[in-house]
Structure 1
Amino acid sequence: MNGNESSALAAPAVGRAPVVPRRSLRDGVYDAILERLLDGSTPQGSSLGIDSLARELGVSPTPVREALVQLEHTGLISRVALKGYRVAPPLSSTQLAELFDTRAILETAAAERAVARADDLLPELRAAHAQHVLRARRVRTARGAQDRPAAFSGLRECFAADWEFHLTIIRAAGNRFLLRTAESLSAQVHRSRGTAGLGTTGIASAVDEHAAILGAFESGDPERPVVAMREHLAAAARRVSADG
C-alpha cells in the first residue's frame, strides 16, 4: 500500500455524515417519541406520521423512520400495511400475566444472585428506595392539592424511581444478560402501568413492598430477598389485574 492509498483510506468520504452524530440523533428522536408514548400525550390507536413527527421534532424523516422501526420491537407501536405506524392498544390481561410471569422468573433469579453481593448492593438499594419514597410523597402531595400537571409529572418520576429500585438489584446480580433482558422489558413495564390506572394506594403499596425487600437484604437471610421479591411481584400483578 502506497502513501496515497493510505491517505485515501484514512480520509472520510466526501459528503458522508459522521456515524456517531447520526446515531445520537436517532437515539434522541427515539427518546422523544418514546416519552410521548409513555406520558399518554399520544392516544392509543392514533397514527404516527413520519413527516409530521419530523416537522414537530425539527429533524429529517430518516431518523424518525429509524426510531419507529426500533419502537416497533418494543410492542409500543405497530405497523399496519398501507397505513403506517399506530400506537398499540393497552396490554391485554394475557399479556400482563405473561409480563409479570417473565418478571418473576427474571427478578427472583436476580435477587437470589444479588444476595452474595449484599454488602455492595445495600447502599445503592437504600438510596434507590429513598428516591422512590420521595417521589411517591410528591405524587401524594400534588394529588392532595389537586395539582393535576404536578401529579402527572410526579407519577412518571415515581414510576421511574420504582423501576430503578428493581434495576439496582438486577445489576447487583452480576449477569449482563439478565440486565439486558430486564432493560428490554422497560418499555413494557411502563406500558403496564399505563394500562392499569394505579392510584395513590397502589403507589403506597409498592413503596411498602420495596421496604420489605430492602429489609430482607439487610437481614442477611439468603432466602428472604427471593421470597420478598416474589411476593411483591405477585401483589403488583394482582393490583394491575384488579385495575384492568
Structure 2
Amino acid sequence: MTSDDNRAAAVRPPARTQPVVARRALRDGVYDAILEKLLDGSTPPGSSLGIDPLARELEVSPTPVREALVQLEHTGLVSRVALKGYRVAEPMTDEQLAELFDMRSVLETAAVERAAANADDLVPELRVAHAQHVLCAHRVRKLRGPGEESGAGPGDFADLREYFAADWEFHRTIIRAAGNRFLLQSADSLSAHVHRLRQTADRGTIDIDQAVDEHAAILAAFESGDPEQPKIAMREHLAAVAGRSRAGG
C-alpha cells in the first residue's frame, strides 16, 4: 500500500454495519406500532408498557422500543414512573381537557383566519376532505348496527380508525392552507391527544352526525367568501366537540 493509500484510508469514514436511514425507519415503525396500541384501546390507561415484552411482541430489539417510549413520553401519552418503568397515561383531567380545547381553539382559529386568504385554492381541497369524511362516516354507520355506535374497545376501534383519520384530515387541510409550517407542526403534536381523547372518553361514534354537519358548516363558511364566517363556524364546532367530550367523559 502506498503512502497515498494510507492517507486515504485514514480519512475514509468507518463502514457502517447498519444504515442510519434503516435505523430511523425501524424506530419510527416501532413508534407507530406502540402509538396504535395506545389509540386502539388494547392498552388501557395505567397499564404497564414493558420494554422487553414490547420488543418480543414487535420482534425487534429493546433499543428502538426504548427510543419510541422516550418519544411518546414527550407527547404525554406515556409516563415514566421511577423503578416501575413506563405506563399508559391516565385519562385527561377536566383541567387538561379544557386546556386541550383552549389550545385547539387558539391554533385552529388562527389557521382559519390565515387560510381564508387562500380560500380559492382551499375550497376544492376542503370539499374533497369533507367528502372523504362523509364517506367514512357512512361506512361506520353501515358496519355498526343500532345501539353499537357508542362501543369503545380494541375490536371496535379498528373500524373507526379510518373515520377518525378523515375527521382530522379535514382540520389539517385548513391548517395546511394557512401556510405556516409551525402551526402545522403544533397541530400534529396535538393529534395523538385528540385521538386518545376519543378512545378514553368512551363515547365512540355518537357524535358522527354532529361532526359531519359541523364540518359542512365550516366548508359552507369558506365557500361564502366572508372571511369572518369560517372563524365563527370553527369556534362553534370546537365548542360543541368540547361539550360532547365532557358529557361523555
Q: TM-score range by the shorter chain?
A: over 0.9
Task: Give the percent of matched residue pairs that are identical in Structure 1 and Structure 2.
Answer: 72
Report the counterpart of residue 197 of structure 2 in structure 1: 192
Kept in 1, the 8 Å contact 2:198–2:204? The answer is: no
SS class of match (2:144):
helix
Amino acid at match of 1:100: F
| 1:37 positional shift | 0.5
Match in the other structure for 1:161: 166
Give the superposition deviation at 1:10. 4.0
Letter in 1 for 2:76: G
- Aligned-pair CA distance for 1:237: 0.4
After TM superposition, the structure 1 = structure 2 runs for residues 1-244 of structure 1, keeping only pairs within 5 Å, are 4-11=6-13, 13-14=14-15, 16-144=17-145, 152-244=157-249
Deviation at 1:201, TM superposition (A): 3.5
CA distance 1:200–1:19, shift in 2 (3 Å):
closer
Q: Normalized against structure 1, the TM-score is what?
A: 0.93
Q: Offset of 1:198 from its aligned partner? A: 2.7
Work out the CA distance in 2 between the residues paired with 1:3 and 1:221: 71
Runs of 4+ in 1 over 4 A off after TM superposition: 145-151
Deviates more, 1:116-125 or 1:59-68: 116-125
From the superposition, tell whether residues 94 and 121 of structure 1 become closer, same or farther in structure 2 (CA, over 3 Å).
same
Q: Which moved more, 1:179-188 or 1:141-150?
A: 141-150
SS in 2 for 1:42: coil
Flag structure 2 segments of 5+ consecutive residues without an equivalent.
Answer: none
Q: Mind listing any 5+ residue stretches in structure 1 that lack a counterpart?
A: none
Cα 1:5/1:126, change in 2 over 3 Å: farther
**CA displacement at 1:189 relative to structure 2:** 0.8
What RMSD in Å do the two structures reach over aligned CA positions?
2.0
Write the deviation string for residues 15-43 of structure 1: whole angstroms up to 9, x where unpaired: 54221110110000000000001000112
Count of residues paired in the alignment? 243
> Helix, strand or coil for the counterpart of 1:185?
helix
Whole-Å separation in 1 of the counterparts to 2:139 and 2:206: 14
Superposition TM-score, scaled by structure 2 size:
0.92
